[in-house]
């Protein structure tokens, strides 16, 4: 049986040496080879096939290893071993890698080792060979991919892509699981895939939305089960709350600033009232101030009424008659009476 190595590579145990100890005589193999009678390989993964080669000839020789029964791109052969002195044993490894989706079966392979003269590069004796059965393990031909993160509030939406790498039609059943209580639903929950085809399936996430806080990260997994082992795709649901943390911080800052502003306003008003001197309103009305550049008119003096004498009245009447009479300067030579205005005497 094959044994997994520490690095995930499958190794096959070594069997007894097969060949002849004829020393390179005619009709006898010059080398002996040891390899397991059966090996197992997983499609899409790398497997190791160990072997051992011994020089049974009496001369120095190189060992050329060939694998028969597989495509050249599926196996990586070691470089020619040696040169090996007579009786020396050398170990080597063949790397096998079958493409993903290869169907489960058993392949009959042949391992051949040829002795070559190091000086002339001519083969020595007959090649040694051994047969082995290569068992191809059954693997899941269904692959599923999902986004690394799904963002949402109350719900989240995403798509799962299914691939059928096999050679036959398969019915795939989808299911979801989460350790945080996330509910995963698919539409549809069952899909039919043809060989070599792919299909995108819609999915929804649901979880109770928090009221206040930061974003929550909740892992979940999607499982796609076909005829083989299930394919699992892991993802994370990033859920936002109703009120984010930055909104609460902004409100706290605004409330703090408003409180400091109110306290400062009260203190300023109190200090202003404490240092402002109190003035009494005078009982006597003050005269209006004199505007700059304009002197105030002198106040009019009250005149006493003195009755006029008869002689004074007669003088005033005579003056009024003199003003009303036309003068020669105004009438001119013709004595036109229309060139001046007749003034009525003041009585």
CA distance 78 to 53: 12
pLDDT reported for residue 11? 44
Candidates 55, 64, 121, 67; CA nearest to 95 is 67
Contacts (Cβ under 8 Å, ≥6 apart) of 139: 42, 43, 44, 100, 101, 104, 228, 229
List Cα–Cα distances, 112 to 68, 102, 109, 136, in angstroms.
8, 25, 10, 21
Structural contact between residues 136 and 107, judged by C-beta atoms closer than 8 angstroms: yes
pLDDT along the chain (347 residues), means of 10: 41 48 58 82 84 89 90 87 89 87 83 90 87 81 87 89 82 89 89 86 88 85 84 90 75 84 84 69 57 60 62 76 57 47 50
Instruction: Look at residues 102, 90, 94 and name the one whose alpha carbon lies nearest to residue 43.
Output: 102
What is the SS3 string spanning the chain?
A: CCEECCCCCEECCCCCEEECCCCCCCCCECEEEECCCEEEECCCCEEEEEEEEEECCCCCEEEEEEEECCCHHHEECCCCEEEECCCCEEEEEEEEECCCCCCCEEEEEEEEEEEECCCCCCEEEEEEEEEEEEEECCCCCEEEECCCEEEECCEEEEEEEEEECCCCCEEEEEEEECCCCCEEEEECCEEEECCCCEEEEEEEEECCCCCEECCEEEEEEEEEECCCCCEEEEEEEEECCCEEHHHHHHHHHHHHHHHHHHHHHHHHHHHHHHHCCCCCCCCCCCCCCCCCCCCCCCCCCCCCCCCCCHHHHHHHHHHHHHHHCCCHHHHCCCCCHHHCCCCCCCC
Longest dimension (CA), the chain: 191
pLDDT one-digit tens code per residue, 186-220? 988 888 888 878 899 999 998 888 777 788 889 99
pLDDT of residue 228: 73
What is the pTM assigned to this prediction? 0.43
HSE value, Cβ hemisphere, 13 Å, CA-based, for 283: 0
Taking the alpha carbons of 140, 143, 147, 153 in that order, is the dihedral positive or negative?
negative
Quickly count: other Cβ atoms within 10 Å of residue 304's Cβ.
Answer: 5
Domains of the chain (ranges; CATH) run 3-136 (2.60.40.10), 142-243 (2.60.40.10)
* Residues in contact with 97: Cβ distance below 8 Å, sequence separation at least 6, in sequence order: 41, 45, 46, 47, 74, 75, 76
pLDDT value at residue 34:
86
d(CA 24, CA 205): 72
**Which residues 6+ apart lie within 8 Å of 103 measured at CB?**
136, 166, 167
């Amino acid at each position: 049986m094959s044994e997994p190595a520490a690095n995930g590579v499958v190794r096959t145990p070594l069997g007894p040496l097969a060949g002849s100890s004829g020393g390179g005589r005619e009709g006898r193999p010059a080398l002996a080879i040891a390899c397991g009678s059966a090996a197992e390989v997983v499609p899409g993964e790398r497997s190791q096939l160990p072997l051992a080669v011994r020089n049974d000839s009496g001369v120095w020789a190189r060992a050329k290893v060939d694998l028969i029964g597989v495509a050249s791109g599926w196996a990586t052969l070691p470089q020619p071993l040696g040169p090996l002195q007579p009786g020396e044993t050398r170990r080597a490894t063949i790397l096998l890698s079958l493409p993903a989706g290869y169907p489960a079966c058993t392949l009959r392979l042949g391992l051949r080792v040829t002795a070559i003269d190091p000086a002339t590069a001519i083969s020595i004796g007959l090649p040694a060979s051994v047969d082995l059965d290569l068992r191809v393990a059954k693997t899941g031909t269904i692959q599923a991919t999902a986004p690394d993160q799904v963002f949402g509030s109350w719900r989240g939406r995403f798509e799962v892509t299914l691939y059928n790498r096999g050679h036959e039609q398969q019915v795939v059943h989808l299911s979801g699981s989460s350790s945080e209580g996330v509910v995963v639903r698919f539409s549809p929950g069952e899909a039919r895939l043809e060989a070599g085809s792919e299909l995108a399936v819609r999915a929804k996430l649901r979880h109770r939305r928090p009221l206040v806080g930061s974003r929550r990260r909740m892992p979940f997994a999607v499982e796609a089960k076909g005829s083989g082992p299930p394919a699992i795709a892991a993802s994370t649901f990033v859920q936002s709350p109703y009120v984010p943390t930055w909104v609460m911080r902004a409100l706290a800052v605004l409330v703090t600033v408003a409180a400091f502003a109110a306290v400062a306003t009260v203190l300023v008003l109190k200090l202003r009232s404490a240092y402002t001197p109190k003035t009494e309103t005078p009982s006597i009305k003050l005269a209006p101030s004199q505007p700059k550049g304009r002197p105030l008119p002198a106040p009019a003096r009250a005149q006493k009424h003195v009755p006029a004498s008869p002689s004074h009245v007669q003088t005033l009447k005579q003056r009024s008659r003199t003003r009303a009479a036309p003068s020669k300067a105004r009438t001119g030579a013709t004595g036109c009476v229309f060139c001046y205005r007749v003034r009525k005497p003041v009585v």
